[in-house]
Amino acid sequence: MKTSIALSSLLASLAAAAESCPDYSDYAQQRHEPFSSGQHKLSYQRPAPACRTFNSSDVEEVIERMESAISDPDLYRLFQNTYPNTLDTAIKWRGVAANNSDEELTFVITGDINAMWLRDSANQMQSYLPVLKADPSRDGVASLYRGVINLQARYLLTSPYCNSFQAPLESRIPAAENGAAAADSVTPPYSNASVFECKYELDSLAAFLEVSANYYNSTGDLDFFGRFQWVSAVQAVLGVARAMQTPTYGADGAVLDSPYKFTRQTTRSTETFANDGLGSPVAAGTGLIRSGFRPSDDSTTFQLFIPANMMFARYLEPTAEIVAGLGAGAPAGLADEMKALAASLRASIAKYGIVPTKRAPDDSSGGHFDTVYAFEVDGFGSSLIMDDANIPSLLAAPFLGYLDAADPVYRRTRALILDAATPNGNPYFMRGPVVGAVGGPHQGPGMAWPMAAIVRILTSDDDDEIAGQLREIVGSTDGLGLIHESINTFDQSHWTRQWFSWANGLFGQMIIDLEVRKPHLLKQSYQ
């Protein structure tokens, strides 16, 4: 009896504490003491322990260790706030499947949008790879990973062309409203009861492969992948990828039925598809996979989006090894099919994704042509030369593990991406006195994305370049001590999305990477 009373009292206390927790959407836009001791006096932005959505002693040990590794007080405060942000604020629900109490589920929101993106949740989990280890319990980061993989598998089996999803029914969380999606016309159709938004993005499929490979490589837990719906979800992913290799025209010139169509009533061209939902025409025979939208959730100009094809090829390879390891637990030939598709995509990217571009004149002949990776192509000869801040991007290709940062085509592409000063640079590289970084059409000209500055650090070996980017990031949070989605390059008080967990976690991930690669840079001052 005493035990029952004590348990009831504890549950009541926890419920009362949860009710008193502030809404983080509001909390993150206010400054909270104690402020950091540096010149920027950055706010402390972690919720009280009782208000955090998941507590990990392993992550807390990393945060404590990094205090001695980072000398600059503002840089440390930014790490302290950002690295645990997903665990502190975005693990909206954890539980098990209604039909199987062994099947863990983890619903991870992006932050200020109460829905789970396949891409975002995979990347939010990636931040905690340094502490991921084999652990059968339901108390650690490994359990979160398993829950994300299981829930993503469910989503892919429900609506494999969609990118963003509602909380599972088991959570009893009401479906979030998306007014923009109310007038969508989408093929194949979907239900708002399970889907928040249905923008087909190849990188969303790649994200499922990525989070799966990351879990397996860190834990060696092969049995997990044969227990629930993972193999079926992989087959669904491959089914979409093969279908989206369909060109616009058949051999006789007839317009083919597209497996995916999308139209929306909107005032923004990037929120809908051209040609009544078909998108721009795509040539036959390229071997590349179409993507309706980019990782920014903006529609593609040309549907053969190279960064997503890179990411998909990259993560097909290790997930094929998982399938092969399952033996009779996976369909015969599935692993070989995945490996063959990965090799084919790499060959297609080399053939169609590398294009000549005219760089700045260097002699009296008026310049020369260099080859670079295109952002998008159509197979007919048209290409889009630019980059966007969101991952996957061309800038992020080495971070994804698709190629080495010393690759000569990548080096030329990188120089173009980070160049806005010549007529042949990146039209979406934003410059200004506050920060300089790649942006994109999603927030438009003048808005730089710290995410791109972080990726620049992760793909650089240049101490001066890294230090310069760190200084700009630390000095451009408007004193709030979290990573914004985007920042006006002339006014750090003009920003978008204060609560954006993926970007926060990526910053922490980058700092941990520097602890290994460039520990001396963490000892510098960024005042």
pLDDT greater than 80 at residue 361: no
Mean pLDDT score, 66-76: 98
Measured distance CA(184)–CA(243) in Å, rounded: 21
In degrees and rounded to multiples of 5, residue 495 shows phi and psi of: -140, 170
pLDDT at residue 4 is higher than 80? no
Q: Which residues contact 200 (CB under 8 A, 6 or more apart)?
A: 161, 162, 163, 240, 244, 260, 262, 291, 292, 293
CA pair distance 56, 231, nearest whole angstrom = 29
Model confidence at 76: pLDDT above 50: yes
Backbone angles phi, psi at 70, to 5 degrees: -110, 120
How far apart are the C-alpha atoms of 314 and 309, rounded to whole Å? 8
Q: What is the model's pLDDT at position 359?
A: 62
319-338 residue pLDDT tens: 999 999 999 999 999 999 99
- Residue 1 banded pLDDT, cuts 50, 70, 90: very low
Q: pLDDT value at position 357?
A: 87
Mean pLDDT of the chain: 94
- What band does 44 get if pLDDT is binned at 50, 70 and 90? very high
For residue 10, is pLDDT > 90?
Answer: no
Three-state DSSP class for residue 324 = helix
pLDDT value for 14: 47
Of 146, 153, 166, 160, whose CA–CA distance to 96 is shortest?
Answer: 146
Q: How far apart are CA 388 and CA 391, in angstroms?
A: 8
pLDDT range class, residue 6, cuts 50, 70, 90: low
Element housing 156 (H / E) = helix 141-158
pTM greater than 0.75 (yes/no): yes
203 pLDDT exceeds 70?
A: yes
In the 8-state DSSP scheme, what is residue 255? Answer: B
pLDDT at position 115:
97
Question: Residue 183: its pLDDT value, please?
Answer: 80
pLDDT band for position 452 (cuts 50, 70, 90): very high
Asked whether the predicted pLDDT for residue 422 surpasses 70, the reply is: no
